[in-house]
Structure 1
Amino acid sequence: MARRRQLYEGKAKILFEGPEPGTIVQYFKDDATAGNGAKSGVITGKGVLNNRISEHLMLRLQEIGIPTHFIRRINMREQLVKEVEIIPLEVVVRNIAAGSIAKRFGIEEGKRLPRSIVEFYYKNDALNDPLVSEDHIIAFGWACPHDLEEMTGLAMRVNDFLCGLFAGIGIQLVDFKLEFGRAWEGEDMRIVLADEISPDNCRLWDTQTNEKLDKDRFRRDMGSVKEAYQEVARRLGILLEEGNSTEHKPTDTPV
């Protein structure tokens, strides 16, 4: 086991120095938060499930040509990713009204939107991640017009693919949050998908019953959060056996 230097700790993950220049070890925690940390808790095994689900979805997206930071999974809780310069924006794609958009516009939750909507939020917990316009983004230098066009195009491609993938296993992709970063490839800098894709940052509803299979179960005190994540993993064909959720501590990052 190689002890690596910790670079950053967020609400759901810890980042460690990678084994080679330009790489990062991403460790998935069991911590759960809502309301930018206003509510917190621990869901035993969540990190293991999110690691596997995100790995599976990132690999599937790579197969259709979506550039991502994902390199490989290291163990039950860790994956090796490319070091990227994170763009300080959350890119949210919405297909069905839920959460903040339903409240903002008085739309009944569960109503399908006339078209998929892309929204941008400034990544700043102290400001509660405010909704921002493209003019804000360009004026404050968070991204240039080309970056915005690239991120929007990639987000819609991800949406099209994941909607089909989840529909095939009886799940509606209601909405989801993506993060992007800038990575060097040779002499060129390109935009790549970063962070994770899991029930932590997707709203996933059963197609037949509208049962929530995502983090809303934690946000709304519905219970059975781990079981919902397990159900998503089971339908994706990657459900883990019980008892494998604590193989590695965050201070040990074997590579």
Structure 2
Amino acid sequence: MARRRQIYEGKAKIIFEGPEPGTVVQYFKDDATAGNGAKSGTIIGKGVLNNRISEHLMLRLKDVGIPTHFIRRLNMREQLVKEVEIVPLEVVVRNVVAGSLSKRFGLPEGERLPRTLVEYYYKNDELNDPLVSENHIETFQWAHPQELEDMQALALRVNDFLCGLFAAVGITLVDFKLEFGRQWEGDEMRLVLADEISPDNCRLWDARTNEKMDKDRFRRDMGRVEEAYQDVARRLGILPETGNGENVTVESMQ
């Protein structure tokens, strides 16, 4: 589609003005960052894969009644989404100990949590997205109590569905980050799932070997980052295979 006015550029995506009122276009970049920009690089083909993976997961979530901002994929790197007012919170859902949770409490990575843990982080790169409590959120009015309750309920529903979806293709959903947006229709407002769901913001491990299949491979200089993203897409049935069983290149995805 013709390039439109740029509204915002983040670490992984560029947001453009949409073709219709109330819409914007998300462009998925190959840029990769870690540590809130302390480390940066490029993962070749990441934008194409994340666009397709997020499209697939958003559509599957919509099928089970989860409201999202997703409208349709436009091309290899762009998708049309509803314009929303982003709630300034990252909602992190954890099923297995990993990442910052392991560091904060000295727990071994890979230990399954006795119950699903939901955490909130204030979206502010300059402050390194600090962990916050529900009291912080209500005190600083980042979200109203009912919104907070709705976000947690939706996050747990998303978790239940995605855990099953990934388990069916031999992947453990360790943890993931969600963002929500306020969608206004006149004076009416409802919360919808926004941003993306991809190996950029999910920790995905092979269910048999615990091999990492997400951005941790970039964060920790483990190598084979592109192959890991491709493997996730292949298992989800997004990335086609050649007759001899090997993955085709990202460029051949439609």
Give distance in 2, aligned partners of 1:191 and 1:243.
33
1:136-168 Cα distance to aligned partner (Å, 9 max, x none): 001001000000000000000000000000000
1:48·1:245 contact (CA, 8 Å) conserved in 2? no
Aligned residue type for 1:169: V
1:188-231 Cα offsets, whole Å, 9 max, x none, are 20000000000000000000000000000000000010100000
Q: Match of 1:242?
A: 249
The 5 Å alignment of 1:11-90 reads: 11-90=11-90
Seen in structure 2, the aligned counterparts of structure 1 residues 66 and 18 have a Cα distance that, compared at 3 Å, is same
Equivalent in the alignment of 1:253: none
State the alpha-carbon separation in 2 of the partners of residues 26 and 56 from structure 1: 15
CA deviation vs aligned residue, 1:90-123 (integer Å, no higher than 9, x gap): 0000000000001111111000001000000000
CA distance in 1, matches of 2:109, 2:83: 38
Kept after mapping to 2: 8 A contact 1:76/1:245: no
In the TM superposition, what whole-angstrom CA distance separates every residue of 1:53-106 from its partner, at most 9, and x where no partner exists?
000000000000000000000000000000000000000000000000011111
Contact 2:49 2:250 in 1 (8 A): no
Aligned twin of 1:225: 225
Q: Secondary structure at the match of 2:67?
A: coil
Any idea what SS the aligned residue of 1:36 has? coil
Q: Which residue of 1 aligns with 2:195?
A: 195
Secondary structure of the 1:244 match is helix
Per the alignment, residue 250 of structure 1 pairs with none
Question: In 1, distance between residues paired with 2:221 and 2:134?
Answer: 35
% identical equivalent positions: 79
SS in 2 for 1:119: strand
Give distance in 1, aligned partners of 2:15 and 2:207.
Answer: 35
Kept in 2, the 8 Å contact 1:72–1:81? The answer is yes
Indicate conservation of the 8 Å contact 1:44/1:245, yes or no. no
Matches within 5 A, 1:128-143: 128-143=128-143
Offset at residue 246 of structure 1 (A): 11
Match of 1:161, SS?
A: helix
Q: Which ranges in structure 1 are unaligned for 5 or more consecutive residues?
A: 248-255
Partners of 2:91 and 2:127 in 1: CA distance: 17
Distance in 2, Cα, partners of 1:40 & 1:185: 38
Aligned length: 247
Structure 1 residues 245 and 43, CA, compared in 2 at 3 Å: closer, same or farther?
Answer: farther
Are 1:152 and 2:152 matched, yes or no?
yes
Amino acid corresponding to residue 177 of structure 1 in structure 2: K
Distance across 1 between alignment mates of 2:40 and 2:252: 20
Quick check: 2:14–2:29 contact (8 Å CA) kept in 1?
yes
Find the residue that maps to 2:36 and give its secondary structure.
coil
CA distance in 2, matches of 1:245, 1:8: 29
**What is the distance in 1 between the residues matched to 2:185 and 2:147?**
16
The 1-side partners of 2:109 and 2:66 are apart by: 30
Instruction: Tell me how large the CA RMSD over aligned residues is.
Output: 1.4
Q: Which runs of 4+ in 1 moved over 3 A?
A: none
